[in-house]
Amino acid sequence: MEETKQPAPLEDARDEFVTQWGAIGSAWGINRTMAQLHALLLTSPQPLSTDEVMEELHISRGNANTNLRDLVGWGLIRSVIRKGERKEYFEAEKDVWKMICTIARERKRREITPVVEVLLDCKARTAGLKSEEAKDFQKIVTDLLDYLKLADRLLERIAGSEQSRAIRWATKFLT
């Protein structure tokens, strides 16, 4: 009778983390595979090749390559070359604070900055309008700008600070 191999507790927990990080990533607007790939590399004790990523996540080469390049572009993983090998390997930034700062900077650059630019343009284009509808529109745009500028400053402060200073600042802010 063939014995069924049970996953080791660490492997089982790691698989669950990769799965759930993918679900969280989807909720944050990052594709599930990209988030799972990040979690896989984040928890891997050594750099992984594209083939190893494909095998572990059961994804195609194209999907693996696209998401690896995107993660490199975000600055969350880096390419590692091993002496004497032709394969490219990848490893994640393991310092969680550096990872958080990188994500904050990228989200600011990719999401907040473009929206602020659009809102500023909308505000400028309607500045001379005096109708009640225009005033309501301008108030909404101004309120959104105020909120986004606050979020922008917060992300800037987090991304540019040391972990100990940011935690002290957040503790004071939240208490």
Q: Which long-range contacts (CB under 8 A, 24 or more apart) does 120-128 make?
A: 120/145
How confident is the model at residue 116, as a pLDDT? 94
State pTM to two decimals: 0.75
Q: Which residues pair with 90 in a beta bridge?
A: 48, 79
The structure tokens listed for 93 are: 């930034």
Burial 103-119 (b: 16+ CB within 10 A, else e): bbbbbbeeebeeebeeb
How confident is the model at residue 125, as a pLDDT? 95
How confident is the model at residue 158, as a pLDDT? 75
22 CB neighbour count, 10 Å cutoff: 21
Whole-number percent of the chain with pLDDT over 70: 88
Tell me the C-alpha distance between 89 and 55, whole Å: 14
Residues 28-67 pLDDT 10s? 778 999 999 999 999 999 999 999 999 999 999 999 999 9
Residue type, 81: I
How confident is the model at residue 55, as a pLDDT? 97
How confident is the model at residue 71, as a pLDDT? 95
Residues 58-109 pLDDT 10s? 999 999 999 999 999 999 999 998 888 889 999 999 988 888 888 888 888 8
pLDDT of 6 above 60:
no
